[in-house]
Amino acid sequence: MGRRRQAVTIKHVAADAGVSLQTVSRVINNEPNVRPEMREKVQASIDRLGYVPSIAAQRMSGSRSYLILALNDRERTIADWRARQGTDWVDQMLLGGMLECAEHGYRLIFELVDTHNDHVERELTAAIAALQPDGAILTPPHSDNPKILAVLARHKVPFARIGAQTSEKGLPPGILVSMDDEGGARTATRHLLDLGHRRIGFISGPTEYRLAGKRVEGWRAEMEAAGLGVDGLLEAGDFTYQSGVRAARALLTRPDRPSAIIASNDQMALATVEIADELGLSIPADLSLVSFDNTPLVRFTRPALTAVDQPIADTTARAVRMLIASHRKPDADMGPVVMPMGFEIRGSTAPFGKGG
Amino acid sequence: MGRRRQAVTIKHVAADAGVSLQTVSRVINNEPNVRPEMREKVQASIDRLGYVPSIAAQRMSGSRSYLILALNDRERTIADWRARQGTDWVDQMLLGGMLECAEHGYRLIFELVDTHNDHVERELTAAIAALQPDGAILTPPHSDNPKILAVLARHKVPFARIGAQTSEKGLPPGILVSMDDEGGARTATRHLLDLGHRRIGFISGPTEYRLAGKRVEGWRAEMEAAGLGVDGLLEAGDFTYQSGVRAARALLTRPDRPSAIIASNDQMALATVEIADELGLSIPADLSLVSFDNTPLVRFTRPALTAVDQPIADTTARAVRMLIASHRKPDADMGPVVMPMGFEIRGSTAPFGKGG
DNA sequence: ATGAAAGCGCTAACAT
DNA sequence: ATGTTAGCGCTTTCAT
């Protein structure tokens, strides 16, 4: 091997430009107190020598590491990867997060952490000690995990919480970025109401995920606004296909079965497709169906599913941007940001009564 | 913010254990010349204080960075992400690569690099200077890009090339890890021969990807071994859906059309499904179809497609392992490794003559 | 087998 | 506006 040294260091640049290390450093970091002509001269040397600062050295000297940690749930992520069904969440996070990081000279480091595990703290502390990240992005369900928040706070790592619920007392709230789950559910419900549906069933997600509750609220609010009750129209799922099967069967075997169903995620929507098929109900003639998330899956059913679209990439990019900005101005207003959901109308929704 | 310092450093451990920094360092790095009892005492302090070395400091002092770069094609990767059809390649790389890295205390850093671009060298040099990675994993088509190989060689970054073709003269060959494209094609062909098919068409990939050629070779070899000709059975595609449409139409509108087709990737296989449908050919009754890659897509067609399965996760994990091992023993034999392909039989293949 | 000293590349703090 | 000094946490010499 032979120990690899930095090919071009700040010293080379300083010598080449005939200035001190400090001046070069100031130019690199866009700091004030450098005359424009100096700045240009130094920049010319940097360009000519192809100098790029070592982030290890930058970090060592007490500055930034230019590393941002993206924390995801280990168990679920690995399960998704192994299932090989197209892991939309991760892909979209990388798309939004990596590209935004790159634009600011940062890198996103994808890190898996166990939620339901005693050594979350140990794992996370190790990652922080090893990498010294400038920030962390938390995804559900980590966003609301007090242990994780506490570790980050203790190590003074700024964090952004995607889809987080509330501020934990005694802990800094972090940067809050959410997707508009309630709004998404409202849009879906209104779409179905506009199509003439009156009995609109809803399959909810697990209470562990706060966004699941928000989706229920949106649906309920819109139903009530339309003067409709929701009795017998809500079934609890837990985001798994199996739970969707159970919930869909419960809804669709009722004597007063709904003419439309909103499922809180794609897996449960696919389960609903299966049960509808099993019961001889045709989609969308006998049953309109709206899904949540809009992962790749829903485009490959026949008909393709109308779905609420989660703007994961945009949300992650926004979180990255705010994290980096907060580093510059720690006191800037980091009030909660809510990203609007999209809505893709496909073939699984149709006017009420046109078929069944 | 306030400059964040390492919470627990090697100094704390040394003080706690009552030894010198050096001894602690030796324990951390599993080096010789430490008495077992010393080692234990130090390890106890490490555990108690929860000490984890800073990779920035380790890197600064001329040791490893514990970072491995995974280089992927920017354009294609971003296009896949945006298309939102389930980016299997990236997911599987992360699954195999990240987990393997984690096991050895390394991290995988996912990096996008333009292939068709003048500043590949600049981009890559910058990444190397910034991160000082201990190794890099190249995926097609980067694996055969001489510019990239040259930059890595120049900076003495060891690299593993997935699915690479040949050693470039004057450049170190790197660690070669391939998937058995020829074997996969042979398996697929044999499967169809066993089902009684005699005219088996093949849609190839672009010559830029060397694996495309390998797949053609496997098919051709197996056909010839069965005493069958391949005239009029080979059509060139380029891995895009559109090229698959063209190729499939060319094959299926011949008077002596094949009773089975092998497509070199999933997109082209889906295109073949569409054309078969358009021509009123039922799958698998009138046409058997085998796909390559086994991305999520092929499970959502009706019928689901029989497919050759690329072991991307295993291959990446293997590359990581060899890269790390080579660091320990630079002279170890890094002969080419070929990972076997899988084969998933689904509903798109059936015995010849049972329907059409 | 252990320890002490020097230095990696960079920036914060302090001159000038 | 610029330069000098000290030190970040660790590993590599080089002693002992």
Query: 């990807």: which residue's tokens?
Result: B209
DSSP strand pairing (B260-263 vs B107-113) = unpaired
Confidence at residue A42, expressed as pLDDT on a 0 to 100 scale: 95
From the candidates B13, B69, B81, which should be mutated to test the interface with A, based on the most A CB atoms within 10 A? B81
How do the domains of chain B map onto residue ranges?
Answer: 10-59, 67-180+312-340, 181-309
Confidence at residue A286, expressed as pLDDT on a 0 to 100 scale: 97
C-alpha span between A205 and A139 (Å, rounded): 16
Instruction: Please report, rounded to whole angstroms, the spatial distance between the CA atom of protein residue A327 and the C1' atom of nucleotide C10.
Output: 19
Confidence at residue A2, expressed as pLDDT on a 0 to 100 scale: 43
Contact between A95 and B82 under an 8 Å Cβ cutoff? The reply is yes
Nearest to A86 among B62, B65, B85 (CB): B85
Contacts of A299 in chain B (CB under 8 A): 85
DSSP strand pairing (B306-309 vs B342-344) = antiparallel
Query: 């190790």: which residue's tokens?
Result: A126
Which residues are registered as beta bridge partners of A343? A308
Burial of B127 (0-12, 13-18, 19+ CB in 10 A): buried
Which residues 6+ apart lie within 8 Å of B154 measured at CB? none
CB of A242 under 7 A from strand D? no
Q: How far is A225 from chain B (nearest CA, A)?
A: 35
**CA–CA–CA angle A52, B164, B69 (5° rounding):** 30
C-alpha span between B46 and B303 (Å, rounded): 57
CB of B57 under 7 A from strand D? yes
Burial of B163 (0-12, 13-18, 19+ CB in 10 A): buried
Length of chain A as a residue count? 356
Cα dist from A45 to A15, A194, B189, whole Å: 9, 65, 59
Query: pLDDT truncated to tens, each residue of chain B (356 aa)?
Result: 445 778 899 999 999 999 999 999 999 999 988 999 999 999 999 999 999 999 999 999 988 899 999 999 999 899 989 988 767 888 999 999 999 999 999 999 999 999 877 789 999 999 999 999 999 999 988 998 999 999 999 999 999 999 887 767 777 889 999 999 999 999 999 999 999 999 999 999 998 788 899 999 999 999 999 999 999 999 999 999 999 999 999 999 999 999 999 999 999 999 999 999 999 999 999 999 999 999 888 887 889 999 999 999 999 999 999 999 987 765 555 778 999 999 999 999 999 986 54
Tell me, letter by letter, the H, E, C secondary structure of chain A. CCCCCCCCCHHHHHHHHCCCHHHHHHHHCCCCCCCHHHHHHHHHHHHHHCCCCCHHHHHHCCCCCCEEEEEEEHHHHHHHHHHCCCCHHHHHHHHHHHHHHHHCCCEEEEEEECCCCCCHHHHHHHHHHHHCCCEEEECCCHHHCHHHHHHHHHCCCCEEEECCCCCCCCCCCCEEEEECHHHHHHHHHHHHHHCCCCCEEEEECCCCCHHHHHHHHHHHHHHHHCCCCCCCCEEECCCCHHHHHHHHHHHHCCCCCCCEEEECCHHHHHHHHHHHHHCCCCCCCCCEEEEEECCHHHHCCCCCCEEEECCHHHHHHHHHHHHHHHHHCCCCCCCCEEECCEEECCCCCCCCCCCC
Footprint of strand C on the protein (CB under 7 A): A 5-6, 9-11, 21-22, 24-25, 28-29, 51, 53-54, 57-58, 60-63; B 3, 19-23, 26, 32-35, 38, 60-62
Residues 141-170 of B with CB under 8 A from A: 155-157
Phi/psi of residue B347, each to 5°? -85, 0
CB of B280 under 7 A from strand D? no
Contact between B129 and A86 using a beta-carbon 8 Å cutoff: no
Q: How far is B330 from chain A (nearest CA, A)?
A: 7
DSSP secondary structure letter of residue B104: T
What is the side-by-side order of every strand in the sheet holding B260-263?
Answer: B234-236, B200-204, B260-263, B288-293, B306-309, B342-344
A147: number of Cβ within 10 Å: 14
What is the side-by-side order of every strand in the sheet holding B159-162?
Answer: B107-113, B67-73, B135-138, B159-162, B175-179, B337-339
Contact between A278 and A272 under an 8 Å Cβ cutoff? The reply is no
Q: Is the pTM of this model over 0.85?
A: yes
Contact between A84 and B90 using a beta-carbon 8 Å cutoff: no
Distance between the two ends of chain B, CA-based, in angstroms? 73
Contacts of B54 in chain A (CB under 8 A): 59-60, 129-130, 132
Instruction: Please report, rounded to whole angstroms, the spatial distance between the CA atom of protein residue A183 and the C1' atom of nucleotide C12.
Output: 48
Pick the CATH number of B10-59 from 3.30.365.10, 1.10.260.40, 3.40.50.720, 3.30.360.10: 1.10.260.40
Which residues 6+ apart lie within 8 Å of A337 measured at CB? A175, A176, A177, A178, A318, A322
Name the closest nucleotide to B8, judged by C1' and CA.
D9
B70: number of Cβ within 10 Å: 26
Confidence at residue A57, expressed as pLDDT on a 0 to 100 scale: 94
Contact between B279 and B252 under an 8 Å Cβ cutoff? The reply is yes
Confidence at residue B289, expressed as pLDDT on a 0 to 100 scale: 98
Which residues are registered as beta bridge partners of A95? none
Q: How far is A57 from chain B (nearest CA, A)?
A: 6
Give the distance from CA B295 to its chain's centroid: 13
Q: How far is A2 from chain B (nearest CA, A)?
A: 9
- For residue B284, whether the previous peptide bond is cis, meaning omega lies within 30 degrees of 0, is yes
Which residues 6+ apart lie within 8 Å of B350 measured at CB? B195, B284, B285, B288
Confidence at residue A329, expressed as pLDDT on a 0 to 100 scale: 67
How would you classify residue B206: left for phi > 0, otherwise alpha for psi between -120 and 50, otherwise beta? beta
Contact between A107 and A94 under an 8 Å Cβ cutoff? The reply is no
Structure tokens at A224: 């009530």
DSSP strand pairing (B175-179 vs B159-162) = parallel
Q: Where are the alpha helices (DSSP H) in chain B?
A: 10-17, 21-28, 36-49, 55-60, 74-83, 88-103, 120-131, 146-154, 181-194, 210-225, 241-252, 266-278, 312-328
Q: Identify the H or E element spanning B68.
A: strand B67-73
Beta-carbon pairs below 8 A across chains A and B: 161
Pick the CATH number of A67-180+312-340 from 3.40.1170.20, 3.40.50.300, 1.10.10.10, 3.40.50.2300: 3.40.50.2300
Q: How far is A250 from chain B (nearest CA, A)?
A: 26
Contact between A129 and B6 using a beta-carbon 8 Å cutoff: yes
Instruction: Kindly identify which residue of chain B lies nearest to residue A83, measuring between CA atoms.
Output: B296
Backbone Cα Rg of chain A: 25
Contact between A88 and A312 under an 8 Å Cβ cutoff? The reply is yes
C-alpha span between B199 and B232 (Å, rounded): 10
Contact between A296 and B1 using a beta-carbon 8 Å cutoff: no
C-alpha span between A327 and B79 (Å, rounded): 31
Structure tokens at A144: 């609301």
Confidence at residue A1, expressed as pLDDT on a 0 to 100 scale: 41
Contact between B214 and B185 under an 8 Å Cβ cutoff? The reply is yes
Contact between A94 and B90 using a beta-carbon 8 Å cutoff: yes
Which residues 6+ apart lie within 8 Å of B218 measured at CB? B181, B182, B183, B184, B185, B186, B189
C-alpha span between A213 and A218 (Å, rounded): 9
Which residues are registered as beta bridge partners of A71? A111, A138
The identity of residue B165, as a single letter, is Q
CB of B304 under 7 A from strand D? no
Q: Which residues of chain A have pLDDT under 70?
A: 1-4, 86, 167, 329-333, 354-356
Q: Which CATH architecture has domain A181-309?
A: 3-Layer(aba) Sandwich (3.40)
Asked if the domains at B67-180+312-340 and B181-309 fall in one CATH topology, the answer is yes
- Tell whether B43 is within 8 A of chain A (Cβ): no
Which residues 6+ apart lie within 8 Å of A174 measured at CB? A138, A149, A152, A158, A159, A160, A161, A164
Contact between A307 and A344 under an 8 Å Cβ cutoff? The reply is yes
Q: Which of B293, B313, B312, B308 is nearest to B346 (CA)?
A: B308
